[in-house]
Amino acid sequence: MQIRDISVGKRLFFANFMMVFIPVCLLALIGFAAFAGLRFAGTAQQELAVLWPEKGPALSVQYAVSSLRVKAEKKGGPKLKEMMEDCRLLEAQGIAVSIQRDGQPLYITPGAETAQLEELAVSAKVGYSDTAAMLWDDQDFIFAYTSPRSGTRILAAGNVPFLAKNAIPENNVRDIWECIAFVLLGLAILFIAGLGIYLSRLLSRQILEPLSRLRMAAAEIQQGNLDAPLEIRTQDELGETCQAFDRMRQDLKRAGENQKKYEQNRKELIAGISHDLSTPLTSVRGYASGLLDGIARTPEKKRHYVEMIYETAGTMEKLVESLFLFSKLDLGRIPFHFEAVEMYSYFADFAAEQSEELAERGLQLHLEAPQEQAVVQLDRLEFQRVLKNLLENSLKYKKQPVVQVCIGLEKKEGQLHIAFADDGQGVDARELPKLFDSFYRTDPARSEVAKGSGLGLAIVKQIILGMQGRIWAEASAAGGLMICMTLPLQEDGK
């Protein structure tokens, strides 16, 4: 098993444990090393004398007399100020010191006499020698040394028992300092361990909890539930990952909803095609059967039957053409050739060219727009198809011999709003959102196939969407239908 195969939780636990364990061990090692150094090193004799009296005096005294002996061997004789520190250390332990050179006194502990120290040295049989002579028993300490090199003689004596051989006296100061030191060391270790454990759990929780929520969200998606949101509490890298995952869930949900909508539209499309083709086919078959069966016996009737077959075939041809156009628009297979068009001039020219012909068919066209520049990027040919379909729709569903159609233009928030309002039959408010669905007609029975296939407004919608616009339907003020659309204005009118 490789490390990457171990769970993230176990790897985090091991890493965090080592982050705590190693500093604690190092701290403990440094602490015990420091205690050992203070206890046994000879460079801290004064501190040792205070903290560890059973070792301190022996080490301190031995250090002091050894230092005096080394300094006495200096060429040209020792300097008194160099020897005073050692003298003070011995005197602190209750030992009197006498230093002479060539028989002349250099230093004597206040209150002590050189002759008395000499007597103690003689009585203890610590005499003149080129090596140090020292006696240290359970009661007294006596040291004598004469340097043959500099002629310096050192005498030291005092009632200082060798404590290492006796019972260790109580020393509250040492106990207090040792207790404080160990308590501080223990508290430091506990603090490091506690802080490490807390931070480890916090880090693990911040990593593992989002991963757990992410795993549960993935399981919900796997089961087909796209409605369960992923709760996001952080803004770090894991939070960003969870946000990306939740956006993916939302995209999948929208894609699923669109797929259902497309599937429903496909079914309606098939049903609409089947219905709108079956009606004219039935008519063609009936007229053809009449010709074959001899029902149409006169030339006039035969011609009538042939004309009806021709007209019905033309209706079917238009239906197929509209269906083919809608399919290509829906699949994005019709390229748009955009150009900058000034829309007020465009509509003014269109109204001037088409008004007479439309009036003959029963449509009065009015243009209501401010004479200001409004430039839009559009495909002239496809937009011409939009205008034709909208006007044909108004003609088909007029309720008076003449239908009034008003075209309004307005610039608003970087968009050009275009409205086609008529005073025709109008549409129920509940049916307005469905007008742009393919094969939708307000005639539920779809009995008047000649009035259209129901693809006109669906084609209009696809063209406007292809031009980055938006389209919707409302009721007009005159009680008819108003088709509204927006197209993005070109910046600075250029």
Range(s) of the chain covered by CATH 1.10.287.130: 237-326
pLDDT at 321: 76
For domain 237-326, the question of CATH label 1.10.287.130 is answered with: yes
pLDDT at 120: 80
Range(s) of the chain covered by CATH 3.30.565.10: 335-493
| Domain covering 53-170 in this structure, CATH number | 3.30.450
Range(s) of the chain covered by CATH 3.30.450: 53-170
pLDDT at 8: 58
pLDDT at 221: 83
Kindly give the confidence (pLDDT) of every residue in the chain, 494 residues in length, as a single tens digit, with 9 standing for 90 and above. Answer: 555 456 656 666 677 677 777 777 777 777 777 666 655 544 444 444 444 444 456 777 888 888 888 888 887 777 888 888 889 888 888 889 988 887 788 889 988 888 888 888 777 665 545 456 778 777 788 888 888 888 888 888 888 776 544 433 444 555 677 678 778 878 887 887 787 777 777 767 767 777 788 888 888 888 888 888 887 776 767 778 888 888 888 888 888 888 887 777 677 667 767 766 777 888 888 888 888 888 877 888 888 888 888 888 887 787 777 777 777 777 666 788 889 999 999 999 999 999 999 999 999 999 988 878 889 999 998 899 899 989 998 998 888 899 999 999 999 888 999 999 999 888 888 888 888 876 555 544 434 444 455 677 888 898 899 889 999 999 988 889 999 999 999 875 44
pLDDT at 167: 37
pLDDT at 365: 92
Q: Which CATH class is domain 335-493?
A: alpha beta
Tokens matching residue 224? 């087909």
pLDDT at 471: 92
